[in-house]
Structure 1
Amino acid sequence: MEGGDTREVKYFRMAVVSLGLLCVLLLSITLPAAIKGIAERNQQQQLIHINLTKERDELQAKTTILTEDKNLLQKMNTILNQNKDQLQENITILTEEKDQLHERNAILTQEKGQLQEKNTILSQEKDQLQTMNTTLNLDNEQLQDNITILTQEKGQLQERNTILTHEKIQLLTMNTILTQEKGQLQEKNAILTQEKDQLQERNTILTEEKDQLQTMNTILNQDKEQLQENVTILTEEKDQLHERNAILTQEKGQLQEKNTILSQEKDQLQTMNTTLNLDNEQLQDNITILTQEKEQLQERNTILSQEKIQLLTMNTILTQEKEQLQERNTILSQEKDQLQKMNTILTEEKDQLQTMNTILNQDKEQKASCRKETPSWSRRWTSCREEIPPWKCFGSSQYYISRDMRSWNESKQQCMDLGAHLVIIDSEEEQEFIHALINQPYIYDKRAWIGLSDLETEGTWKWVDGKVLDTPGFWMQDEPNDVHGAEDCVEVINSWRTLGLPLKSWNDNVCRKAMYYICEIQ
């Protein structure tokens, strides 16, 4: 029995030793794997740390670029403001010049009105003298001339009224354009609102990324808890070893050395575990700091992007204002030119009225001194010894070239209203005189109607007094040609085509065409 017990004890001891050796083998196998896993996690966290550092550097670089863009846009904004100030100064100067021209125009208009009043007074006095001297028929014709001139001035005033009406329409058009620009600005405001919504969506995306980072933090905490559980398991195994050590007191000497070795290895592993936990915490702190820095940089990036958009918007607005000011500057320059032209026209009209006033005063004096004598007007028409503008003398006739443009029939009637007729050319000398008379500065195309047509019978040219043209005339080369069968009235041309050829300057043309005309009183 004792021998059997001894064998059982030996077997038990062998079993215990075998179990201890198995535990040592298991520990030697599992601990390196755990250490390797912790080292891999440490490397992953370091990689995350490196990636976050790179992202931070990239965001800082983007921030620097946006800051430079902001500075450039601010410089451009300053330059545009300076250009805007210069344009406003130009507009102010042009506005002042425009006001001065308006004032000068008003003064000339007043002077014109005064001269017209004087002209009216003198005309009334002339009418009174005509009632006293019924034999002055030619004075009545001169009054008709004055009425015609006043009618022309009335037409000019109506044209000025038309011009002012056009300017009013232009101002209404500008108001419409400004209303459209207001609508465009409202559309841009709607676009900015949409961009704001997009930025809010981007903020939501960043919030989701933050939640993902928090989820990763939770996973790391779970890994930490698993490590703590491993430590707890190891502690329980240590307790089991202590219990077995108490049972195996006889083999304590042999196992104490191994136990001491295992305890030292355990301490080393715990130290490594503690170190890895500290490194893990530091890495988590670094991740948190980098995440905060990333969020701050993203916020700063967002702010700089908004400032960039605002500066671009301001740049666009200032550019539009600059273009509007340039357009307004152009409009004011055009108005200035128009007012200067009107000023020149009014000055010429003033000079004409003064000339007419002088003529009427001379007529008044002549009538006062010659009431009982033969009228000087009749002597003038028969002898053409004196010339009164705008009539021109040649031979025994007076000639008047119009300042307005009419058709041939209207020109014929207008000459009759003046007590005259469309010019009848009887000689080469008269033709040369008429050819030179057309060369007036205001007649841009250098052509005028004369009193010759074939309206009654095609091919039979008659003067306005009914006489048939019985000479070859003074036709241009290949004229008359009656283009399309519609050219029945004759004009005289003094242009490059008839330069040096006054005796070859007649041309047939369409009668309804408006052009200048020449009247004659014999």
Structure 2
Amino acid sequence: MVSHQWLPWINNPTSGSISVTSDKQEQEISSDCLGTSKKVTCLQICPVAGLSTLCLLLLVTCVALSVLYNNESDRWKSLRFDYQNISDSYLTLSKPNTGQKGDNEILKEHSARLPEQAELFNRPSAELMSVNLALSLENTELMEKIVNLTSTNLQLTQEHERLAQYTSEQEEKKLNMSQTIKYLVDSNAQREEEKRRLSETNSLLRDELFQAVEKNRELQEINDKFQGEIKNLSEKIRALLNDGREKASKHNLQLQERVTELQEQNRNLSAMLMNGRKKAAACEESRRNEMGRTVADMHSMKEAYTSLDLYCPVVSHQTKERICKKCPDSWKQFEAKCYYFSSRRLPWSSSRAWCQTQGGDLLIINSEPEQNFTFERGQALESSGSRLWIGMTDAEEEGEWFWVDGNSVASDVQFWLSRPGMVTEPDDWKLDDPLGEDCGHIDTSETALKSWMDGSCKTPYRWICEKNV
């Protein structure tokens, strides 16, 4: 920035070769110039050259200031006008000395005005710099707010997408639940009808049982009657014995035949009574079995419908069309098995319990292709951890490895980790757990056919479940 400090004749008008302080000095200069032509030439040329140079500098300064402060063009025009007047005033010094006094007065006035104009010029410049700095700070704050708002907007957008997906899933579940409720209502109506039929059957069986009991009672009365007759006959036999042996022996034979006949009838009645009781018991047992089968059928129907929705979900609620799948959601099929690869971590026993709640168990590896499949699928989720529990343990006896189905680990289907110069797995490392390492897992950071390791059953790892298709 060019200020008035570059114009020495403005700050100190008494210095320099163009001093115009008094009329006396002007007269001295005039007399000296008239005295010798050499001095006149010097006094005329030197001030003109100096003033021309200064005017050139002032013009260059004016051009630079006009570029830097375009918004202050009006003030620059005024300054240029003043500087042009000064230049014209100084150029008039090259003319004869007549009228120099008036020019000197004009120069004094312009010189007196220059500091004020320079101050006026510097003041807007400082104000502009201050405003520019404030605008820069405000622009930085606005940019930070824009960045924060952009990040917040992105988070809200993601949250909105998650909520929309969750709402869609909930609507789908609600629709499936409505279908399930409708089916259960229909099934309940069928069960009520079955219950009514069973009640009728039970009533019939109860009537038959009552009839059997009545018949049994009648048979019991007949038996009691025969017992009374036998008792009466026995008394008659004893009376006849008193009358005479001969008559008694003849009649005794007849009575014995009658007793035998009555005993045979009694045995027949007893058999009939026993058959009636067995028939009644059989009817009751048949009724109970029928009730049990009906309840079992109801449970089977409920489980079948649950399995139907699980494996054959409705894809069109208008046409009720279903598409069946072999494995549940989140399970992967390989050959005749379904596999689940967890992203969470649990100890070995908790992992197995989770698999059992899903109708399966921890992974049992029976072949090299199965090992390759489970290794690659587990490696796809390695960001959640490279180690996954499988259904293998030697907790019963150290070194004797068994699968969770009770079968021992076959010697020809083993994929234990081995590293050159290091101990081969399993090593039953006891530094982390004094009880040792009794549970098997796969480390997907190794190679597929050398990835089995033993570990502490208390350590939480991911796990692999397996169940039949």
TM-score in same-fold range (> 0.5):
no
TM-score norm. by structure 2 comes to 0.40
Normalised TM-score (structure 1): 0.37
More relative contact order, 1 or 2 (CA 8 Å, 6+ apart): 1
Per residue, is there more helix in 1 or in 2?
1
